[in-house]
Amino acid sequence: MESNINYTQITAYSQRFSAKICDKYFENKNSINGEGILLISPVQQINLFIIWELLNLWKIEIENLKSPYFDYGSEEVQNQLKKFMNVLSKNIKMERKHLEPLLVQATERAVLLIFSPYQFYKNVINNAPNSKVSISFLLELSKYVKINKHLLESYIKKLEDNKIEEVFSEEALTIFDEVCENISETPEDFEIYITMFNEVLLLDITAFYEVDSGQSKPAAQKETERDEHEDAKSINETLYEDVETLADAHEKQGIEGIKKNITINQRFMFVNELFRGDTEEFESVVNFLDNCKNKKEALDFIELNYVKGKDWDVESEEYEEFIHIINRRFPS
């Protein structure tokens, strides 16, 4: 189970953050150039994502320019287009009304990349042009990613090793999941980035992991889902009352190690919620648990040192999920 990402809170923070930056920058200026964009926020990753989006918009404009009467694929035309792009990149000029939406979008992306990199890359894959992920697309992205880049680099290497030049998003995501499952490097420490965000607007990352309240489903939809659930439950109880499901069987198979079976989002959730942002302590505990002789030794360690020692909330989702992984490491 992945931690819940609250996009509503991320967007709300990004809008307030961007408004503050724009209020300050445009107080005595009417426009911003390329150099200004690269310095617009204290979080360099945000600034780079603005440039990345400008590049994407440029590509869309070029596609719209194409006509059946000219060969836009010729080497000469491509060279001239690159020169034209280089000239444009040195002559960026944007008013606040055009910059601010890009700044909001760039901030949203940076927040995800820093605090939930798996979700960031998943979104990139799902929203790739023409629903296809290509090596060239990922290499272009890598020029603008400076945080948690090891995931992207491992992904690119995986595709290159398998000689995959382009793949549909659904399969691309499956391959990315495989990369995440086998990667040993942990996400970057995000404390330094919290400090950067706080220079502009105080950031509470716990809000980014809460479930959206107020996004309730229509009453008719709820009623339909309730009826369907009751019907399914009735059939299930009648026909499969004592039958073990495939999911249950899978859970009972156990796992070889805790570290390799914790997802990227889970790492962030555990480090942030259980270990108070201390990545080194988290890694040390996971290594210790993986080397325990049995479940009792592992659970006793957590009970003594963290439930009692550091007052962990045993009713929290983070605690239950962490214990669930320990139970799978040492199945009874």
* Highest-scoring range by mean pLDDT, 135-139, 236-240, 277-281: 135-139
Per-state percent for the chain, helix, strand, coil, to nearest 5: 65, 0, 30
Q: What is the rounded distance in angstroms from the CA atom of residue 270 to the CA atom of residue 276?
A: 8
Average pLDDT, the chain: 83
At residue 211, the pLDDT reads 52
pTM of the full predicted structure? 0.65
CA dihedral 251, 258, 159, 115 (to 10 degrees): 110
| 108-117 confidence digits (pLDDT tens) | 999 999 988 9
More confident residue, 62 or 324: 324
What's the rounded Cα separation, in Å, for the pair 284 and 132? 39
How far apart are the C-alpha atoms of 130 and 107, rounded to whole Å? 24
In terms of Cβ atoms closer than 10 Å to its own Cβ (0-12, 13-18, 19+), residue 234 is exposed
- Collapsed DSSP state (helix, strand, coil) of residue 186: coil
H or E stretch covering 20 = helix 7-25
Q: Are 198 and 20 in contact (CB under 8 A)?
A: no
**Is pLDDT of 44 > 90?**
yes
134 membership: H or E segment, kind and range:
strand 132-134
* High-pLDDT (> 70) share of the chain, %: 85
pLDDT class for 235, splitting at 50, 70, 90? very low
pLDDT at residue 332, rounded to an integer: 65
Tell me the pLDDT tens digit for each residue of 187-216.
Answer: 788 889 999 999 999 998 888 876 544 443
**Domain extent listing, the chain:** 7-209, 250-329
In angstroms, the CA 116 to CA 183 distance is 16
Q: Answer positive or negative: Cα dihedral of 36, 42, 44, 45.
A: negative
